Amino acid sequence: MKEDLSYILNHLGEDREKYFNAVSPPVIQTSNFCFRDLQQFRQAFTDELEHHIYTRGNNPTVAILRKKLAALEGAEDALVLSSGSGAIAAAVISQVKAGDHIVCVQSPYSWTQALLTKLLARFGVTHTFVDGKSMEAITQALQPNTRMLYLESPSSLTFELQDLQACAQLAKERGLVTIIDNSYSSPLFQNPIRHGIDIVVHSGTKYLNGHSDVVMGVICSSREIIKKIFESELMTLGAILQAHDAALAIRGLRTLELRLRRCDESARLIASRLAAHPKVERVTHPLLPGHPQYELARKQMSGTGGLFSAYFKVDEREKMEAFVQELKHFLLAVSWGGHESLILPSVGFYNIPGRQDTHVDWKLVRFYIGLEDPEWLWADLENGLKIL
């Protein structure tokens, strides 16, 4: 059973007697650690994941954060890295070799797609993108050399789900490793390991830190897998999280539950109103009854946070652009998870030299609802909708 949420967020891993009973853990801002004698020196090198030798490997401030994140996901251990894409790359690379094949849900996070199509393809790792809503499609995509099933449920633009238990069962039957990007739900609202998934990755930049001031990645899994990634991908590539950023993330976790429940409540309110608006074609929010996978969402998620997408009834791209420009209370930006509400309009990706995003419907806008008064946000949307 997962430890009490309040205890994890506010106290787990914080041995305050070791640092003068300070309420907040100190930032151990050092590159190097020294030893009192050769015996201690030799002992440290038996397991660098647990001992302090050099901050690239282990740091006391970072270690507190790792303990909290592992407990939140119900995992045996966790690693934190310098970005979400770094965590995804380390987790995936740790499990494949030349000649292996990966089955991945279609339209994943853009840098996950780049990892598969550009980087790993250079080293003989092939992939197939599939409709993750269909277990039949996933099964048919499996090849004799398939090593991994990579999931993103819900996906962070169109919010399509995969059946985590069914995917985990299929993977175990075929001897595959499963990885999921759980950034959308956070550990507060979805725990994939409980459904049998092997490795969970996060962009800790989003909800976990929650203040738009840290870039961070997270990997949660078994002790065996975490140790393997630590000793190879993390130590070799050196994509570590600095102690100061770890301290900021620990601060962010204090309010994780309060922030996410506020975002979740406000997002459902605004999404429901948009769904009923005559100028909106449809809203994609997993826990609104109109979502085609609503029952699956209810089964494996207890909330959604602040993200959803809306498709608008508009016949000219210029009008869509005018709507976006008219909004004053939403910041035009990528990412999500901070205090500030954001919009990511697909129309913004059109006419960018060198980009090919025309497969994404320009009528789609992704919304992130932050901590502001939802009525204040809704008034802004109502005003903008008059343009359409």
Exposure class string for 337-351: b at 16+ Cβ within 10 A, else e: bbebbbbbbbbbeee
Exposure class string for 162-195: b at 16+ Cβ within 10 A, else e: bbbbebbebbeeeebbbbbbbbbbbbbbbbbbeb
User: How do the domains of the chain map onto residue ranges?
Assistant: 5-254, 256-385
pLDDT tens per residue across span 44-84: 999 999 999 999 999 999 999 999 999 999 999 999 999 99
Residues 26, 279: Cα–Cα separation, whole Å: 52
Task: Map 312-354 to HEC letters.
Answer: ECCCCHHHHHHHHHHCCCCEECCCCCCCCCEEEEHHHHCCCCC
> What residue has token string 């903008």?
384
Asked whether 239 and 62 are in contact (CB, 8 A), the reply is no
SS3 108: coil
pLDDT tens per residue across span 230-259: 999 999 999 999 999 999 999 999 999 999
Largest separation between any pair of C-alpha atoms in the chain: 74
pLDDT of residue 352: 80
Q: What is the mean pLDDT of residues 364-376?
A: 98
Distances (CA, A) of 205 to 67, 84, 85, 334: 17, 7, 11, 12
Tally the residues of the chain.
Answer: 388
CATH architecture classification, 5-254: 3-Layer(aba) Sandwich (3.40)
Contacts of residue 8, Cβ cutoff 8 Å, sequence gap at least 6: 2, 68, 71, 72
pLDDT tens per residue across span 285-294: 999 999 999 9
The residue that leads in pLDDT, 359 or 273, is 273
Residues 364, 273: Cα–Cα separation, whole Å: 16
Asked whether 198 and 225 are in contact (CB, 8 A), the reply is yes
Q: Does residue 177 register a pLDDT over 80?
A: yes
Percentages of the chain per state (helix, strand, coil), in multiples of 5? 40, 15, 45
pLDDT tens per residue across span 139-172: 999 999 999 999 999 998 899 999 999 999 999 9
What's the CATH fold of domain 256-385? Aspartate Aminotransferase, domain 1 (3.90.1150)
**φ and ψ of 102, to 5 deg:** -120, 135
pLDDT of residue 1: 38
Residues 12, 84: Cα–Cα separation, whole Å: 23
pTM: 0.95
Q: Does residue 358 register a pLDDT over 70?
A: no
**φ and ψ of 3, to 5 deg:** -65, 160
Q: What is the mean pLDDT of residues 113-122?
A: 97
Q: Does residue 218 register a pLDDT over 60?
A: yes
What is the separation, in whole angstroms, between the first and last Cα of the chain?
50
pLDDT tens per residue across span 255-286: 999 999 999 999 999 999 999 999 999 999 99
DSSP strands (E only) in 43-106: 77-81, 101-105
Q: If you average pLDDT over every residue of the chain, what do you get?
A: 96
Q: How confident is the model at residue 357 (pLDDT cuts 50, 70, 90)?
A: low
Q: Does residue 2 register a pLDDT over 60?
A: no
